[in-house]
Every structure is written in C-alpha cells, then in structure tokens.
Structure 1
Amino acid sequence: MAAQVIADDAEALAVAAELATRFRAGASERDAERRLPREEVDQLSASGLLAVTVPAGHGGADVRQETLAEVFRLLATADGSLAQIPQSHFVYVNVIRRQGSEQQRKFFYGELLDGRRFGNAQSEAGTRHVQDIRTRLEPRPDGSYLLTGVKQYATGALFADWIPVLARAEDDTLRVAYVPRDAPGLSVIDDWDGMGQRTTASGTVRLDGVPVPADRVLPHHLTFQGPQLHGAVAQLLHAAIDTGIAGGALAEAAEFVRTKSRPWFESGAETAVEDPLLIQRFGELAIQVRASEALLREAARTVDAASADLTDDSAAEASIAVAVAKAHAAHTAVEVAGALFEVSGTRSALNSLNLHRHWRDARTHTLHDPPRWKIQHIGRYVLNGTRPPRHGLL
C-alpha cells in the first residue's frame, strides 16, 4: 500500500482537517446503512496520518501528543465511528516504541510508513474484569509460540494488516503478539451490533493455535514496572473522540436550527436563531464544548511535557490531566448530543434525518471505561497526593 509521508505537525493537522471534511459528507449514510468505511480507512492509510508518531530517526514526523489528540478530535467531529478505528493503532505503535527492540522498531516503523494498519485484539468477554486476560501464548521447542483465545470488541481488526493481541505467557506475564491479519488459525468476525459506533466493526477475533515467531512478541508487562504514559496516551485519544463527537453534534444542531427550525410562538421572534431561550441554550452548550476542548489541549501538553522528562511525578500529572479531560468530555458528549433534540425541536427526531447518531455514538463510546473511577483517582490525588495506579486505563 503506497502512503504519503507526513513531514511535521502542521501537515498532520492540515491532512486531518481535509479528511474530516471529506468523511463528514457520507457519515450519516454509512451509519444508517451500517456500511463499513473500508474506502475511508484506506484513504486514512494513504494520507500518512497513521505513521505520524514514528520517530524522526526512523523517517517519521514524531508529532506531539497535542497534535495527535487534535487529529482525533477533528476526525470525530465528522464521524465518531471512523475516528475510533485507529485509536488502538496508535496505542500499539506506542508499545513498540516503549518495549520493542531496535530490530522490531525498524521493521514495524517501516510497515507503518508504508501505510500498514494495526488493529486490536485486547478485551475478552466472560472474564472477571477487563484486565483478566486469558488468551495464552504457549511456547514451542523452536522458541516460537502458539496463540489461543477469543477476543471481543476488537475495533479495527477487520481493517488491519497486523492485529496486536494481548495475551499471557507461560509465566503469566502480559505480552503483545503482533499477528498478520491473514495468519493461519486467526479469524475476524464482523458481529458488532452496538446501537452506536455502528461502523467500527468492533467484532470478535478467534485465535485457534495461531503460530507467532518470537520476534513478533513484546514484553508489555515491563511497561508498567516504572513511570509510564501508556494509559495516558490511550485515554487522551478517547477523550479527543468524545470531544469531537460533542463538537460535531453542536455544529449540526446549529445548522439545523439556522435552516430548518421555527421559533416558538411565545418568543415573539421572527426566526429560530432570534429565540432568546435557544440562544441561551446554545451558549451553555458552547461553553461545555469549549471547556472540553481546552481540557483536552491541557492534558495533551501535560503528556508531552511528561514524555520529555518522565518521572513518577510527571507521569502522575499526565494521567490526572487526561483523566480530568476524559471525565469532562464524556459528560459533554452525552449532554450536547442529547440537547441537539431539545434545541432543534420535534422534526429533529425523525429517523430519516439520523441526527440521533451523535447521541448513540457518544453514549456507546463513553461506556469504554467509567468516568466515576477517574474522578476517584482525581480526588485522591488532589486531597492526599496519591498517585494514580499504573495501568492502561488511566
């Protein structure tokens, strides 16, 4: 697959803005028909955006996290589902950066610069909790492995060239196995039927004795033995998606009121945009969205600062800043996407208009991990100086 190579942060933002405009045009139809965005994902790969975190020494732009968060926010204003698909891609690029050998980095960075995509096979259903991983890497006499398990909510796997699989080794430590999409024994099933994020293809991955060479397995457990930003980076992108969904919903609500709504007869206004109560409500919603955008930028800058000087304290500051942004954005996305109907009136509820896709996307995506636990960690940090735990969800 031929892909452009993006040179710097400014180019990454320009490309993301152009793609967001392009993707917005068909977002409602794709959602209504549950038409998977294969062509759009190919365009994303060809644009070079999926390689923007490759280090400069390996030929990439090595953009700031502030830039990456803005890329995701822009894409999510257009299509919340499409923006979700590459989230795990960047998470597992980050694992290579942190835990890969020089040889592994050279190989996979080359793949990324050529437009290759990483999927995700992480979560499992029916276990005690989200970190109860039961997929196993069984060692073979030649040093390679056999990979066995079942993964669900595998966003991006259907569109991937490589599927990073979270698994336990023989000693029960956590590893990531990078498996080609066409590996024998691996199947990806498009059985996702969520009410929102309908076109993410977040289905099931089955692994039936999949052979994995030793040099395709990374020691992910080492990520959490010292100060780390793995969870902060992953959650920053989720916060960017929620913030983008909120912004997209507000923009569509404003357009609907400007072009299709009538004023309430008691307002005395000639047009809906002159209705003082609608003006008041749009002002309140805009404050919420702008606050989420500001918190997202602050969190991203805090992550960038921690990347430059990683310590227990800087990692904690980054995780807390991201937790604040994510908790606020989750609330904002659901509130604004729901308020779209409040300000737009009865006609906005027509199924044929599909304006409810914003709320369905917001409500579905914000279930990824509970903001109530983020607020607990924020409170403990502020009140007692307790650093947040080291795991991939904070």
Structure 2
Amino acid sequence: MTAHIIASEEEALKVADELRLFLESGAAGRDRTPTPPQAELDWLSASGILAITIPRAFGGAGVSYETIARVFQLLSAGDPAVAQMVQSHYLFLEAVGEDGTPEQQAHFFGEILAGARLGNAQAEIGGSSALNLATRLLPDGAGGYRLNGKKYYCTGALLAHWLPVAAFDEENRFVLAFVPRQAPGVQVLDDWDSFGQRVAYSGTAILTDVAVPASQVIPHYKLFERTAIFHSYAQLLHTAIDVGIAQNALADAVATVRARKRPRLGAAVATATEDPHVILRFGQLVTQLHATELLLARAGRALDAARANLTEENAAAATVAVAEAKAYAEDVALAIATDIFSLSGTSSTERARNLDRHWRNIRTHSVHDANHWRYHVAGDYLLNQKLPGKPVRKLAQDS
C-alpha cells in the first residue's frame, strides 16, 4: 500500500477541495443505491488526506485544528456519509498521539502514512447510559490479551484496516485495543439501515476472543486524568460534517432555482431568481451558512490555542466554542435542507433529483448529539462560569 505524502496546510486544503469534487460527483448515486464505498475510501487513502494530522516529526503535515476542520467540511460537502466513515480515523490518530508510546506512534503513524485507515468500535447498546461499556480486554496468561465484546454504530469499521476498540482491562481501566480488521475473531456486519448517511455503514462489530498483543493497547484512561481537548476535537469534526451538508445543500438549492423556467405563482417577475421572497430567503440562508463557517473556524482556532497552552480554562473555552459551532451548524443545515423544497417548487421533490438526501443526511447525523445540550453548555458557561465536563466511560456492571 502506498500513499501520497501531503507536506503543508495549503496542499491539504487543495487536495481536500479536489476530493470534494470527486465525492460530490457520485454522492447522489451512492445514496440512491448504497454499496460500501471502497473505491472512494481508497482514493482518500492514496491522496494522503488521512495522514495530514500526523506530526511533522513522524513525517506528516501536522496541520492545525482550524485546517482539519476546513478539510473535513470540504470532504463532507462532497459526500457527508463517506466523510463520516473516516471521522473516527482522525480522532483515534489523536489518541495515538496523546497516549501512545513512541514505538506505538511510530508504528501506527507509519501505517497511516502508507495509506491504512482506522475504524471505530466504541459504542454499545443495552446499558443504562451510552457511556457504559461491557467489552473486556483481559490477560491471556502469555503476556498478551484477549478481547471480547459487541459494538454498535461502528462507523468506518467495515472498510478499515485497523479497529480501535474501546474496552476495560483487568484493572477496570478504560483502554483502546487496536486490532487488525481481518484478525481472527473480528466480525463486522453490514447491517447499517438508516434513511440518511446511508453509505456511512455504521454497523455492528462482534469481537470474540481476539488476540491482542500488549504493544497494541493504548492506556486511554490517562486522558481522563488530565486536562484535555480530545472530546472537543471529536465534536469539531462532527460540526464540520454539518457545515459540509449545509454547504452542499445550499449549492444544490441555488442550482435548482436557477434552472427553473418560471417563478412561483404570485410572483410578478419573469424568472424564479427575481422573486423577492426567494431572494430574501437565499440571502438569509447564505448569511447563516457563512456564519457557521466562521464559527467552525473560530472553534478550530480555540482548540489550537488550547493545545498551545493547555490550561483548564483554555480547554473549557475551546469546548464552549465548539459547542456553539455545533449547535448552530445543525440548525442552519436543517433549515437549508428543508427550505430547498419551498424555494424550488414541486419539481424539486422528484425522486430522480434526490434532493431529500440532504435533509435525510443532516437529520440522521444530527441525532448523534443532543443539540440543546450544546446550547446549554454555552449558556451555563456564560451565566455561571460552569466549566464543561468530560464524557467519562464506565464499566457497565458498575453503572
């Protein structure tokens, strides 16, 4: 496996925009007839875009949070479902950088620079909280471990090369076990069945007595023992998906209205683009889109500032900035994806146009997070100086 090495932030943005066009050209068709996007993900791997956050010391571009947010927005504007397939890839690269040993960093960063992809096996269902996990990583008596559990919403796992699996070890500490996707005992099901983000393939992973050497276990619990911005980074990437959906939906709305041969009934104008009500609403929507882009960039800069001087207050300010961006981006994307039909008329609902995919995608992705709590975080910080907390995982039997 070989991949291009991106050397700078400028090159990363250029490649991301080229990938946006590539992904956009097939997005409607993939949504209409979903199949695992193997070719698309292989293009992402070969382009080098999946390695841009790797530190320069290890051969990567070491891009800023602001840049990765913009890159991820562009990928999501091309196809948010394909982009979501690699959201966890970037996040778990961060985990390697945060708590991996130098040897682990050299190994996994080298794998990614060569084109490998990280998947995701975190979430479980059936417990009293989404933060409760029952998956265990226990000693095998020979210096290694055995991994057992069942995971859901494993976005990216189906076509990944490595699966970072969230588990609890023999001391009930929260760890990440990195296992090859094709390792004996690893089964990833193609059972994702949602009305939106249809090629995200966020299916089930079953882990049965999977052998894991100690060199592939990262002590993720250490992250919760110190000030960190890891979870805010995860939310930044989710925000970028929403902004990307909004960007693509608005572009499709503009193209659809421009292509109309006549205005809506009641408008005393010659063309649809001259309708004063249509002009007003498009003006409102494009202003809101640009506001989401500014909030996304602001959140990225806040994370960069926190990383440069990681204090509890700086981490909290970054978390709040991300919360504000995430909350508003969801609202705007939903508004654009809904109004595309009232602005464009009856023909816009034709199945062949598949414009409803924008609403289905944002509605599906948005329920990943309870949006009102993002506004709550911002309000509580403003009124009460309340610092946001961390989403701490717990062993299910202890919940």
TM-score in same-fold range (> 0.5): yes
1:334 and 1:363 in contact (8 A); partners too:
yes
Matched, 1:62 2:62: yes
1:119 and 1:161 in contact (8 A); partners too:
yes
Shift of residue 392 of structure 1?
A: 7.3
Matched, 1:137 2:137: yes
Matched, 1:148 2:148: yes
Match of 1:42 in 2: 42
Match of 1:285 in 2: 285
Report matched runs for 1:313-392 at 5 Å: 313-391=313-391
Paired with 1:212 and 1:82, the residues of 2 have a C-alpha distance of: 29
Deviations along 1:194-253, whole A, 9 cap, x unmatched?
Answer: 110000111110001111001101111110111101111110000000001011100100
Shift of residue 35 of structure 1?
A: 2.5
SS of aligned partner of 2:132? coil
Shift of residue 379 of structure 1?
A: 1.6
Report matched runs for 1:95-174 at 5 Å: 95-174=95-174
Matched, 1:193 2:196: no
Match of 1:256 in 2: 256
Could you tell which deviates more after superposition, 124-133 or 383-392? 383-392
Letter in 2 for 1:228: A
Match of 1:228 in 2: 228
SS of aligned partner of 1:317? helix
Paired with 2:82 and 2:385, the residues of 1 have a C-alpha distance of: 38
Q: How many residues align?
A: 393
Deviations along 1:293-339, whole A, 9 cap, x unmatched?
Answer: 11000000000111111111111011110011001111111111111
Paired with 1:264 and 1:345, the residues of 2 have a C-alpha distance of: 7
Gaps of 5+ in 2: 394-399
Paired with 1:190 and 1:303, the residues of 2 have a C-alpha distance of: 35
Letter in 2 for 1:284: Q
Shift of residue 129 of structure 1?
A: 1.4
Shift of residue 89 of structure 1?
A: 0.2
Paired with 2:265 and 2:390, the residues of 1 have a C-alpha distance of: 56
Matched, 1:11 2:11: yes
Paired with 1:48 and 1:154, the residues of 2 have a C-alpha distance of: 23
Gaps of 5+ in 1: none
Match of 2:78 in 1: 78
Decide whether aligned partners of structure 1 residues 262 and 127 sit closer, same or farther in structure 2, where only a CA change above 3 A counts.
farther
Match of 1:92 in 2: 92
Shift of residue 36 of structure 1?
A: 2.3
2:245 and 2:358 in contact (8 A); partners too:
yes
Letter in 1 for 2:312: D
Identity of aligned residues (%): 46
Letter in 2 for 1:383: L
Normalised by the size of structure 1, how large is the TM-score?
0.98
SS of aligned partner of 1:26? helix
Shift of residue 172 of structure 1?
A: 1.6
Could you tell which deviates more after superposition, 22-31 or 383-392? 383-392
Shift of residue 261 of structure 1?
A: 5.4
RMSD: 1.1
Match of 2:22 in 1: 22
Paired with 1:383 and 1:292, the residues of 2 have a C-alpha distance of: 23
Decide whether aligned partners of structure 1 residues 62 and 101 sit closer, same or farther in structure 2, where only a CA change above 3 A counts.
same
SS of aligned partner of 1:207? strand
Normalised by the size of structure 2, how large is the TM-score?
0.97
Report matched runs for 1:169-180 at 5 Å: 169-180=169-180
SS of aligned partner of 1:5? coil
Match of 2:211 in 1: 211
SS of aligned partner of 1:265? coil
Matched, 1:270 2:274: no
Decide whether aligned partners of structure 1 residues 315 and 261 sit closer, same or farther in structure 2, where only a CA change above 3 A counts.
farther
Match of 1:243 in 2: 243
Shift of residue 262 of structure 1?
A: 2.5
2:131 and 2:392 in contact (8 A); partners too:
no
Letter in 2 for 1:95: A
